[in-house]
Amino acid sequence: MFKNMSISAILVIMLFTTDSYGETFLHPGILNSEENLNKLRHRYVNDQIPAAALSMLLDSQLGDVGRLYTPHKIVEVESHVSNSYEEAFRNDAHAARANALLWVMTDDKKYLSKAMRILDEWAVTFHAIKVTKGNSSQAYLEAAWALPIWISAAEIIRYYDDGKAKWSDKSIRQFDQFVLKLHSYSKKARKANNWGASATLSHIAVGVYLNNEAIFYEGIEWFEHSLKTLSTEDGALTADYIRDTWHPQYTLVAWIQTAEIAWNQGIDLYSLQFGREKKPRLEVVFEHFSKLFIGELGNPEGLKKGNYKNAHLDRPGYQIAFNHYINRSNRGEYLPALEKMVQSWYPGGFKDLFMSWDGLTHE
C-alpha cells in the first residue's frame, strides 16, 4: 500500500485517515509473513532447503521439544555479562520461535504445543526486570533485545494459516499484557547508538503485534532519524564504529530486521535516501561493511578491539538483506561486496540477541 512513498507523506496520510488502533496490519507480520512461512513449508516438504541452513535449526537444542524452559517472575540482569536469568529470558523466546517454525514446516502438533506452553507460561509468570549489577538502564536494553523474538513467535502461533493453532483468547490477552510490560522497558532504550537501533526494532514489532499504528509509525520515524544520524554518506557509522567489531553489527542487524518488518507492512525502508544522495543509505552501509568483512577495506583508523575481516561469520541477519537486494529487488550490480560476503557467510550464525535462522527462512 505504502511502498515507495516518503516516510513523511505516509505519516500525514495515517494522521488524517486511520484509526490508531485499527487492525490494519498484515499478520503474521514480523520477519516471517504468511507468504514467507508458506514458502518455508513448501521448501521443507519438497526437500529444497540447503542442509547447512536446515541443520542450524534441527540441531539446535532450542527446537527440541524435550528442552526445559524456565519462566521467571523477576528477570535479573547485569551489565556487560550474561547470567542464567538473561539466558532463560532470551533463549526461551528463541525456543518458542524455533518450535513455531518447526510446526509450520512439519505440521507436527508437538512443536505447536511446545511453543504455546512457553509463550503461555512466561506470559502468566513474568512481572518485571531487575538490574542487579550495573546501570539501571540495562533493563531497557535487555527488553529491547528479547521482545521482537517473543513477538515473532507469538505472531506465528496467533495468525498463521488463519489462526490454525487456535491459541485461546485468554492466552492472547495474557501475552498482550506480557508485551506491554516488556515494552514499558524497551521503549526507553532509545540512545544514539546500537541501543536505539534495538529499541526501534522492538517498537515497530510491538506496533504490528498490538495493531497500534501510533507506536508503529513512531518507530518508523525513529528508524529514519537513526539511519540518517548514525550512518554516514560513505556507509560508516557515527557510533560504535571504532569501539569494536561487534557492537556496530548490533545496529546493522537491528536495521535489517526493522526494514524487513516494515516491508511486510508495505513500507520500503530499504530504499530510504537523504538529500541528493544517489543511492539508498542502507545499500551504502551494507556494501561498506561487506567490504570490511571480506577484507576489501582495511580496518578504520583507531579501531579499539577486534578485526572487521570475518567478524560477521557468527552473526545472523545478513541473508535478509541479501534476499531483499539481490533476490527480491535485483540490485546485485550495485552491491557486489554484499553478494560476495553472503556467499561466504551463509547460512550465518546464531546470537541470542536477535531473531536468527534467516539462512533458513529467507531464501
- What's the confidence (pLDDT) of residue 363? 87
287: phi then psi, degrees, rounded to nearest 5: -65, -40
Per residue in 61-88, pLDDT (tens digit) is: 999 999 999 999 999 999 988 999 999 9
- What's the confidence (pLDDT) of residue 1? 44
Low-confidence residues of the chain: pLDDT under 70 = 1-23
Beta bridge mates, 29: 33
- What's the confidence (pLDDT) of residue 7? 58
268: phi then psi, degrees, rounded to nearest 5: -100, 90
- What's the confidence (pLDDT) of residue 24? 84
Handedness of CA 132, 134, 137, 138 (dihedral sign): negative
- What's the confidence (pLDDT) of residue 23? 56
- What's the confidence (pLDDT) of residue 10? 53
Across the chain, mean pLDDT equals 94
Q: 3-state DSSP helix/strand/coil percent for the chain, to nearest 5?
A: 60, 5, 35
